[in-house]
Amino acid sequence: MPAMPASRLEDEAACARLCIDFANHLDARRYERVLGLFTEDAALDRMGNVSQGRAEIARFLAGRPVQTTTRHVCSNIRVSFEGEPEGEAGGVCYVLFFQGADDADGGAPRLSGPPSVVEYHDRFRRTPDGWKIHSRRICMAIRA
Residue range 58-77, pLDDT digits in tens:
999 999 999 999 999 999 99
Strand blocks (E) in the chain: 38-46, 49-52, 68-80, 88-101, 110-111, 116-127, 130-142
Indicate the domain borders of the chain: 6-142
The topology (CATH level 3) of 6-142 is: Nuclear Transport Factor 2; Chain: A, (3.10.450)
Q: d(Cα 87, Cα 11) in Å, to the nearest integer?
A: 9
The rounded Cα 116 to chain-centroid distance in angstroms is: 15
pLDDT of residue 106: 76
pLDDT, tens digit, 9 for 90 and up, residues 18-71: 999 999 999 999 999 999 999 999 999 999 999 999 999 999 999 999 999 999
pLDDT of residue 17: 98
